[in-house]
Amino acid sequence: MTDTSLADARSKLDRLKQNLATVIQGKPHCLEILTIALLAGGSVLMEDVPGVGKTTLAKALARSVDLTFHRIQFTPDLLPADILGSSIYNPNDGSFHFRKGPIFCHVLLADEINRASPRTQSALLEAMSESQATIEGERHVLPAPFMVLATQNPVEYHGTYPLPEAQLDRFLILLDLGYPDLDTEVNILFSQQEQHPLEHLQPVLGGDELRTLQREVRHVRVEPTVARYLVEIVNETRKEPRLKLGVSPRGSLMLFRAAQAAAFTKGRSYVIPDDIQELATYVLAHRVILTSQAKYGGITKPEIITDIVRRVRVPT
């Protein structure tokens, strides 16, 4: 990649983040992480209390990029066929016609994903890992790029089904928006006084442009010493006594991709250890399981990942 192409790419990404910032105020770091996930081609799980803008952020991203967008409101009675699609009988000629479900799009918003049963949640597994769906024995390729933006509310346990580890492992990033500060919340009140800023959002990045950027991210250079540093962090999670389950090789690969995307957003054609350190908690924390003693001792997964990152020697 030339300096000119990197500068041009950074300009496009700055426009994207500025577009998102008109809707989600006071969260520049969250917008940065979301942009990294988009470039890395990964899916994002946004977990937070109700009303902080998870669904709005997902809608804003879909409108900012010129891609097809579908939304599924997950409920306990939702079936896999409601997501994937099914064959419809035609009484005129006695044939069956396959009607595609909402999963056939570029950006899929899975709203309140933990309200659906595990059987329905599993309908997304193949799509998220392989960008395809096998329906009635036939393989259907999903549009490229394909991204799932899922939301869930951690405090509403009544009527919810916790996401299984296999599902969580397929999300590139777990994002926590958090409450806005006082001044930002005042600005939000006035920005929506007459109408929602989302209504005026226009695409600032074309689908072909995004696909080109995603291909360029794959060419960001990672030195063997930096890659080994990444794997050493992941390996430490498997030996950590406070964890019952460490990070899988899929987690290593996803952190690798995310680090490439992070370097790309900063205008670099190479990854440095700082990129890995910045993203480690976002990419790894939701892939581990605490021991019972650690869980009831008040220790959190991000704290353990942060401890591990601090004690692994940084390559020079």
Please state, in angstroms and rounded to a whole number, the distance separating the CA atoms of residues 242 and 283. Answer: 18
Beta bridge partners of 173: 44
Which segments of 101-174 does DSSP mark as H helices, in order?
Answer: 118-121, 125-130, 165-168
Helix 249-265 to helix 224-239 angle (10° resolution) is 140
The per-residue pLDDT for 218 is 93
Task: Give all domains of the chain, ordered by start, each with its CATH number.
Answer: 1-192+206-218 (3.40.50.300), 220-316 (1.10.8.80)
What would the two tokens of residue 207 be? 């689908």
Q: Is 66 left (phi over 0), alpha (psi -120 to 50) or beta?
A: beta
Q: Would you tell me how many other CB atoms lie within 10 Å of the CB of residue 28?
A: 12
The per-residue pLDDT for 14 is 85
What would the two tokens of residue 286 be? 């939701």
pLDDT tens for the chain, 316 residues long, are: 565 566 777 788 888 888 888 888 888 888 899 999 999 999 999 887 777 778 888 888 888 888 888 999 998 899 988 999 888 888 888 788 888 889 999 999 998 898 888 888 888 888 888 888 888 888 889 988 899 999 887 755 666 778 888 888 999 999 888 888 898 889 888 888 877 877 888 888 888 889 989 999 999 999 999 999 999 999 999 999 999 999 999 999 999 999 999 999 998 999 999 999 999 999 999 999 999 998 888 899 999 999 999 999 999 7
Please state, in angstroms and rounded to a whole number, the distance separating the CA atoms of residues 279 and 257. Answer: 11
The amino acid present at 230, given as its one-letter code, is L
* Mode of pairing for the β-strands spanning 289-290 and 85-90: unpaired
The amino acid present at 306, given as its one-letter code, is T
The per-residue pLDDT for 215 is 92
DSSP label at 270?
Answer: B
Residue with tokens 């890659």: 227
With H, G, I as helix, E, B as strand and everything else as coil, classify residue 44. strand
